[in-house]
């Protein structure tokens, strides 16, 4: 096979493979409908007939059956001999309380903002402009500021996505050397709180805009991080006076995490010896990304570390989630996914030296850099 050709199976005719690709959005939209209706939640205890599901979801029985039959054909739900539909491992991920649930991510990514933007992909290809901005007359971030429900849904989706990769991050990188970590643009705080639970001597600061932090407080308190309005600088300075290696007893959860509001384009809170940015830099073009990184550079100590959690685009024609995610960035924001070499250049412009890229069992890698 020519090295320029993608690696696809020769057992299936190319036209059949192309047909599956072209009709792929049918599956996506069917998943979106099931997620919006919350069907997986109704099947949590036991399989149900389509009539029972229709009653719970206020839907048309024959049409609902066609939806469930189609999804069952791709492994999402399963129909038994008694014509009842039940959960499969794939369908279970659409339950609201499933660990690493994909329900809100499906609703957010396959909903109005993203779906209409992808419908205008050709506009972005022809002009280089952001499709969402073109159809909405504003940036995605301004849209979320003006539409609290859409913003909440998006953040719930990102929280669910974070939950699905947390274990991969924690098992791939050793955070024990740090006193205080700052989760920049950390949303609902799932990343920082998971690290603090795994590393009892580490303290954390969740940094994000005020509206997002308001959404985060109840979740933090439910996990035992009951001091969301504490003084971050005081906490960080206290943490920097002690070293995890000295055997200090772990502090109670309620005293180990606080939140600080701010805009990372203006400044980032000081006091951490590690600054974490998960799926932040890929949202922005080089100029804005460098501005964020420079603010982290200014805030951190001289020997501080920067940790980016991003998808790295591999070379060549190999299949890559990142290459498709990059198209999503094209239509939704002015950001893009980057190669390792592009991250190295970006970091240098912000005053960092890339030290290592650590793959994880998930779709993202840990990009470690030192302040220079």
> Catalytic residue positions?
282
Tell me which residue of 56, 16, 19 sits closest to 34, measured CA to CA. 56
Instruction: For residue 253, give the nearest of 200, 209, 303 by alpha carbon.
Output: 200
Interhelix angle 50-57/61-72, rounded to 10 degrees, is 110
Q: What does R_g of the chain's alpha carbons equal in angstroms? A: 22
Residue 231 region, left (φ>0) first, then alpha (ψ -120 to 50), else beta?
A: beta
Instruction: Give 253's DSSP letter.
Output: G
Give the separation between CA 274 and CA 368, rounded to whole angstroms: 10
Asked if residues 41 and 95 have their Cβ atoms less than 8 Å apart, the reply is: yes
In the 3-class helix/strand/coil scheme, how is 104-165 assigned residue by residue?
HHHHHHCCHHHHHHHHCHHHHHHHCCCHHHHHHCCCHHHHHHHCHHHHHHHHHHHHHHHHHH
Residue 35 CA to residue 57 CA, distance in Å, equals 11
């Amino acid at each position: 096979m020519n090295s320029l050709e993608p690696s696809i199976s020769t057992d299936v005719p190319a036209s059949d493979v192309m047909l599956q690709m072209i009709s792929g959005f049918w599956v996506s939209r069917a998943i979106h409908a099931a997620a919006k209706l919350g069907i997986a939640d109704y099947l949590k205890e036991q399989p149900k007939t389509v009539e029972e599901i229709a009653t719970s979801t206020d839907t048309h029985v024959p049409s609902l059956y066609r939806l469930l039959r189609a999804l069952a054909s791709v492994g999402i739900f399963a129909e038994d001999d008694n014509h009842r539909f039940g959960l499969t491992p794939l369908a279970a991920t659409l339950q609201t309380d499933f660990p690493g649930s994909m329900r809100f991510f499906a609703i957010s990514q396959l909903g109005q903002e993203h779906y209409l933007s992808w419908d205008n992909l050709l506009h972005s290809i022809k002009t280089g402009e952001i499709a969402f901005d073109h159809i909405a007359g504003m940036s995605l971030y301004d849209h979320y500021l003006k539409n609290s429900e859409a913003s909440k849904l998006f953040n719930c989706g990102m929280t669910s996505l974070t939950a699905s990769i947390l274990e991969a991050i924690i098992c791939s990188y050793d955070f024990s050397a740090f006193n205080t970590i700052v989760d920049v643009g950390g949303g609902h705080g799932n990343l920082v709180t998971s690290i603090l639970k795994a590393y009892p001597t580490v303290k954390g600061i969740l940094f994000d805009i005020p509206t997002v932090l308001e959404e985060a407080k109840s979740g933090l308190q439910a996990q035992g991080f009951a001091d969301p309005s504490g003084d971050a600088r005081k906490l960080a300075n206290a943490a920097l006076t002690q070293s995890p290696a000295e055997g200090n007893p772990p502090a109670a959860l309620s005293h180990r995490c606080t939140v600080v509001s701010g805009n990372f384009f203006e400044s980032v809170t000081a006091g951490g010896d590690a600054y974490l940015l998960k799926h932040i830099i890929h949202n922005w073009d080089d100029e804005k990304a460098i501005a964020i990184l420079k603010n982290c550079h200014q805030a951190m100590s001289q020997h501080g570390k920067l940790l980016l959690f991003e998808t790295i685009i591999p070379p060549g024609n190999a299949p890559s989630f990142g290459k498709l995610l990059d198209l999503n960035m094209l239509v939704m924001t002015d950001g893009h996914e980057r190669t390792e070499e592009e991250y190295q250049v970006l970091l240098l412009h912000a005053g960092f030296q890339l030290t290592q890229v650590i793959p994880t069992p998930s779709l993202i890698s840990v990009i470690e850099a030192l302040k220079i």
